[in-house]
Structure 1
C-alpha cells in the first residue's frame, strides 16, 4: 500500500477513508468520481441507497456466476438427451439456479447479521 496521505506543514492530514480511497487504482477512482458526481453533502437516505445498491450489485454478480454455470450444465444435459446415448445421466442444472435465486432474494445472508 502506498502512502497517499496529504502532508501540510509536515502534518499528515488525510483521514483513513481518504487514504483508503487514494489507494484504489486510478481507473476505479475515476469511475467512482464519474458515478458520484460533484462533491456535495449527502443525505442519510442517499447513503443507504448507495450501500443498498452496492449490496444488490454484489448479489447479482454472484448470482450471474451460478446462472452461467447452470446454463453450461443445461446445455450439456440437452446435448446428452439429443445424442440418443443410452446410460444413466443426471442433470443438476436446476441446483445453481436455486442458489442464484436465493442470493438475489437475500435468503440467510447479511440480513441475519444486521438484525
Structure 2
C-alpha cells in the first residue's frame, strides 16, 4: 500500500513537471517560429491533451474494435466540452437571454 501511495505521489509530481516543461517548450517554439502563442496553444497543446485518446483509439482499431475507438473519440470530446463549460459556469456564471434559452432548450 505504501508503494502505491508513493507511486501516485511521484506520478503526480512528474505530471506537473512535464506539463510545465511542455507548455514552456510550446511557448519557446511559438517565439522561434514567430507564430502567435494562441495558435501554438490550440495546435500543439491541443494535440498533447488528445494524445491519450489517440493511442487508445489506434490500439482498439488495430485490435479490431472500431466501436471502442469511435466511442472513445465521441466520449472524450463530449466530456471535455461538458467539463470545461460546467467548471467555467461554476466559476463565473454565463448570462443567457431568456429568448435564446426558450428557443434552444428543446433541442438540448
Fold similarity call, TM over 0.5: no
Structure (1 or 2) with the larger CA radius of gyration: 1
Question: Higher relative contact order at CA 8 Å, sep ≥6: structure 1 or structure 2?
Answer: 1
- Structure (1 or 2) with the greater helix fraction: 2
